[in-house]
Structure formats: C-alpha cells, structure tokens
Amino acid sequence: MPLQQPIPFSTMNIPDLVAVHNQLAQPRGFAPLRAWGDSRCKLVERVAILRTYKPIPPEPKKGKAKRLRRLQPIRDAILEALAFISHYEDAKTGEVVSKRAAKKRDPKTLLSIGLAYPEIIKRVRHRLRKPKWTCEGITLRWTAAKVRNGAPGFEHGTLPQKRPHSAKGKTR
C-alpha cells in the first residue's frame, strides 16, 4: 500500500482544514462540512480519521449493465431448462415414477431426473429463436455447477439429482 502524503496540519488554519476535510470526505461517502465551530484539534483528528477510510470505488459503466440485460433472457431460459424435472425414479428399484405419483410418495425414496443437455439446448434455442446463439454442453455444465454451489447471481433453487445420458452426436 503506498504511503500517504503528509499534511502540514501545523501551518493550516480552520478554513484550510475544512477544505481538506471536504476533499477527503466526498470520495469516501461522507458529508462535507460547511463550517467548523469546534476546536482546531478535533478537526485535525477528524481529517486524520478520514484518511484511514478507503475511497468508495466508482460505479461500473452502463455498457456492461446493458449487455447483461441483453443476455438475461438467455440466462433465464438456461436456468429454467436446467431446473426442469421430467420425471422421478425410485431410488431402490430404478422404476420410473410420474410427477403425479411422486407427490404421494416419500421424497427421500425418489430421485429427480432432469433433461439431457442436448434436449436443454434444443429447448432453449426453440424458446429464443436465435439461430446465431451458440451454446455447448460445457456452458450448461458450468452454469449447473454455479447453481449447485450457490454462486452469487445463481441462487435459482434446486436442480434435478440426475440427468439421462444422451447418445453422442450433434447437439444442434
């Protein structure tokens, strides 16, 4: 961390100290002073304390927010398709259980089954109708890992416990 430049407090009068205070206060998010009616020592102490605070970083540029809004429908479509549960399986027998029958059974005895990654890509492409949009299985796996880990921005809920394996081939 770079050293701060020393401030010659001993040669400064109260209006100069107020100016230094206001110069330090603004980038740190504190209100500026209009005048000071208390002792000079308290103002010097206040300026010294202000120097210990880090300045608030500037807000991000609007361009990135606009880009994120543009990508939001794609993100929502991917998250919705990843969270979709097609059916359930009995954990012991592997027997397929419908969604209706699963509501009546103990959830601890069932495994939720989602869609295969090629099917997710197909559904997202159909929903968005954007032929130039490219998405591979690795993108879906990365997104699914973020959701499972509860990464910031991916607090979507729960994902299915299993996905069916798909035959190797084109996903487009």
- The ranges assigned to domains in the chain are 9-52, 62-149
Walking along the chain (172 residues) 10 residues at a time, the average pLDDT comes out as 70 89 88 87 88 81 59 77 88 88 89 88 78 67 81 75 69 44
Please tell me the predicted confidence (pLDDT) of residue 171: 46
Question: What residue type is assigned to position 42 of the chain?
Answer: K
Please tell me the predicted confidence (pLDDT) of residue 89: 92
Please tell me the predicted confidence (pLDDT) of residue 1: 43
Distances (CA, A) of 32 to 28, 71, 113: 10, 40, 59
Identify which of 122, 123, 113, 128 has the alpha carbon closest to the alpha carbon of residue 165: 113
Name the 3-class secondary structure at 166: coil
Please tell me the predicted confidence (pLDDT) of residue 110: 92
